[in-house]
């Protein structure tokens, strides 16, 4: 069973640590008693999704011998207007930077699909919660600016 500990620092500023033993600072806006000292918990949720699927995709592409210079994942979450302000829609865009990526397009698509439907636990939890969820990807030449 996974375990984390979260401790109050001051107001709504908290620090949390899990089995990795690394502390993460969480906070909120000053208007709600925060001090803007850390990432907001709902932002961490989206980062967890991107980190989970990103690690899967990077690992799978390495095994498939696909050379990618960099992977960037942009996650957008639409939240409910009323409390609890849960995510009502989530969109991911994978951005792959490198040369000759068109030749690896099928492998990139397969890596994304395997992550989303087999390996990424965070994606699986989102699907179980029945949050509308979409993803897409872009192949960006290494020498282009975005």
- So what's the pLDDT on residue 146? 57
**Which pair of tokens denotes residue 23?**
């502390």
Categorize the per-residue pLDDT at 145 as very low, low, confident or very high, splitting at 50, 70 and 90. low
Alpha-carbon radius of gyration of the chain: 18
- So what's the pLDDT on residue 144? 74
Q: Which of 18-22, 115-119, 141-145 has the lowest mean pLDDT?
A: 141-145
Handedness of CA 63, 66, 70, 76 (dihedral sign): negative
Q: Is the separation of the CB atoms in 115 and 57 below 8 Å?
A: yes
Residue 24, CA distances (Å) to 33, 75, 138, 145 in order: 18, 20, 31, 32
Is residue 131's pLDDT more than 90? yes
pLDDT in tens, 54-109: 999 999 999 999 999 999 999 999 999 999 999 999 999 999 999 999 999 999 99
Is residue 38's pLDDT more than 70? yes
Rounded to whole angstroms, the maximal C-alpha distance in the chain is 53
Q: C-alpha dihedral over 57, 60, 66, 71, to 10 degrees?
A: 20
Is residue 142's pLDDT more than 80? yes
DSSP string, 66-99: ---SEEEEEEEEEE-SSSS--EEEEEEEEEEE-S
- So what's the pLDDT on residue 104? 97
Is residue 36's pLDDT more than 60? yes
Categorize the per-residue pLDDT at 133 as very low, low, confident or very high, splitting at 50, 70 and 90. very high
Report the chain's terminal Cα–Cα distance, integer Å. Answer: 42
pTM: predicted TM-score of the whole model, two decimal places = 0.92
């Amino acid at each position: 069973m996974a375990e984390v500990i979260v401790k109050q620092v001051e107001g709504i500023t908290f620090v949390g640590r899990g089995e990795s033993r690394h502390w993460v600072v969480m906070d909120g806006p000053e208007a709600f008693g925060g001090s803007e000292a850390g990432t907001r918990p709902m932002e961490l949720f989206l980062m967890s999704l991107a980190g989970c699927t990103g690690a899967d995709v990077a690992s799978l592409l390495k095994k498939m011998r696909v050379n990618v210079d960099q992977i960037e994942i942009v996650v957008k979450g639409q939240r409910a207007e009323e409390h609890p302000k849960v995510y009502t829609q989530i969109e991911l865009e994978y951005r792959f930077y490198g040369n000759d990526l068109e030749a690896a397009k099928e492998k990139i698509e397969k890596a994304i699909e395997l992550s989303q439907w087999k390996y990424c636990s965070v994606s699986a939890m989102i699907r179980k919660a029945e949050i509308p969820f979409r993803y897409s990807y872009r192949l960006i030449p290494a020498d282009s600016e975005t």
